[in-house]
Amino acid sequence: MYYALTINADQIITGVHESVAPILTDTFAANPGLVDDTVIIIPAPADYQTHTHILCYDEDGTRKPDLWCIENGYMELPPNKEIIDGELVDKEIPAEEQPQTLKQYLEEQFGAVRQETAPTQKAARVMFQALAQNDTITEADALDNKEMFDQWSDFAGKTAPAGILLQYDDGLFRVQQEHLVQEHYPPSVHTAALYTRVQPPNAGPEPWQSGQSYAKDVEVIHNGGVWLSGVDNNVWGPGAPGVYDNVWKRVRDA
């Protein structure tokens, strides 16, 4: 592979390029956004990133500390940072200046949803569901507010759009693909292509529970070991007869 940087007149990196063919000084001549930039051949991408000053890097491409770049005028001080005793640290923001969280916004707009009128409750649920569907609301927040989502049984005989979250058997499931919901095909290991159980991201291993389903890559504790799920909606018992490593794999001692 061949690698190169493009740098504008202000010495800002506008692109980190790689190609199977040699990169020449006129390679980007037909690109209106890069035609006036200087092409510099490099042996490897190293730490180079676009929108940064070329002097923020050593000759081998190693990124210099942000503090050095700021103090030498090659980088602006980020709005959420400050320099104290020669160190770049997070700026302390007074509580009254903290940005409003999504939860605070919903509470402000709709009040205590559980105590409000039916139209207000419906409006809050619709907004919450829409924000969860496009990942504006984290899965952890979705789990903390499961009551905001419809029951899986409510969609029986109806079409469930891809991406929505539904409650089922004390769990929360994301619809993987649009489909007609049928009563005899609920979320389970047999319908993993349709539903994926939502679980807190980066959660530590929890004790395995019979009857509980687990998402792919989730870890559980069972029989003195930590087991990694290899499939979605995993209801099998870790280490049970016939349950192979592709379903539950013991990765370490508990």
pLDDT tens-digit readout, 170-211: 889 999 889 999 999 998 877 878 888 887 665 678 888 887
What is the CATH T-level fold of the domain 206-253, as seen in this structure? Seminal Fluid Protein  PDC-109 (Domain B) (2.10.10)
Confidence at 113, pLDDT banded by 50, 70, 90: very low
Provide the H-helix boundaries in 92-180.
Answer: 102-110, 118-133, 139-144
Out of 59-68, 177-186, 205-214, 228-237, which region has the weakest mean confidence (pLDDT)?
205-214
Q: Report d(CA 57, CA 62) in Å as an integer.
A: 5
Q: Give the pair of three-digit tokens for residue 20.
A: 């199977």
Instruction: Give residue 122's pLDDT.
Output: 72
Instruction: Give residue 193's pLDDT.
Output: 80
> Please, what's the largest Cα pairwise distance for the chain?
68
Out of 31-45, 70-84, 131-145, 220-234, which region has the weakest mean confidence (pLDDT)?
131-145
Q: Give the pair of three-digit tokens for residue 66.
A: 């942000």
Arithmetic mean of pLDDT, 228-249: 89
Confidence at 228, pLDDT banded by 50, 70, 90: very high
Confidence at 110, pLDDT banded by 50, 70, 90: low
> Domain-by-domain residue ranges, the chain?
2-64, 102-197, 206-253
Q: Report d(CA 237, CA 56) in Å as an integer.
A: 53
Instruction: Give residue 170's pLDDT.
Output: 82
Q: Report d(CA 151, CA 102) in Å as an integer.
A: 23
Instruction: Give residue 159's pLDDT.
Output: 94
